[in-house]
Amino acid sequence: MSEHAIAARWRALGTSRALIPYLTAGFPTPAVSLEALRRVTDAGADFVEVGVPFSDPLADGPTIQRTTQTALEQGMTVSRVLELIRQAALTVPVIIMTYLNPVLAYGVERFAKEAHEAGAAGVLLTDLPAGADPAVETAVTNSSLALIRLVAPTTDDARLKSALTGASGFVYLISRLGVTGTRADVPPDLDAQVHRIRAVAPVGLPVAVGFGIGTPPQAAAAARSADGVVVGSALMDALAKGGVAALARLTHDLAAAVHA
């Protein structure tokens, strides 16, 4: 059996840290979104998170909510997101970030099968706590997609251990409480948070940190603790204000900071 695409990418990185941009699929238009996916890859992304637009994005701050609404108005659906990923044909692993309802409406097994066929390597189900729906988790883990877990700073040690059982790809650490969006600095206890996760996570499972990281200095600071850094709102703001050129410039600068 060949090595999973996400594991292979982490292995290829060696001691380097990973930049993981998040892009809302279909924003500001499907055509621009397609170009944006390719441009962030060319600019140094190691993985790409593709967000499925959803009408009730509880974990998302103002920027991602605005991009989501625009994408929905552009007619983006789960099937169109998968087609966008297929068309992009990225050379780095794609992780689909979505809420559970769109996947349930589409059909979990159908989603897992067609997402893999489109070129996705993993999925993040934002509002599915570990163990809350074993049938959904089993359908994903039995597919070719990695099931990537989200954990929060408030997750206690016992819950953390059970939540990471069966996790694959990497662990997504929400660095702070609240919704997505840029902040002034990274949390001062980030190193301790990452260390706590590594103490109970499956051996060798990387830890990526997201929520609140928006500048190259912040990304560099996060990369000193975590294996990967997720940036979303800042990149979507750049795309909204300056188009794909601005998006590519910021991605390049973030990649340089993380890889250093």
- Indicate if 49 belongs to the active site: yes
Q: Which amino acid is at 184?
A: A
Please classify residue 203 by burial: count the beta carbons closer than 10 Å to its beta carbon, then call 0-12 exposed, 13-18 middle and 19+ buried.
exposed
170: which 2 tokens? 């990497």
User: Of 46, 60, 114, 137, which one is the catalytic site residue?
Assistant: 60
> 31: part of which helix (H) or strand (E)?
helix 30-42
Per the structure block, which two tokens stand in for 95?
Answer: 């992780």
Give exposure, 147-185, as e/b (b: 16+ Cβ within 10 Å): bbbbbebebeeeebeebbeebbbbbbbbbbeebbbbbee
Please list, in sequence order, all residues whose beta carbon lies within 8 angstroms of the beta carbon of residue 245, skipping any fewer than 6 positions away: none
Q: Does residue 137 carry a catalytic annotation?
A: no
* Of 35, 42, 46, 49, catalytic: 49
| Catalytic residue annotation | 49, 60
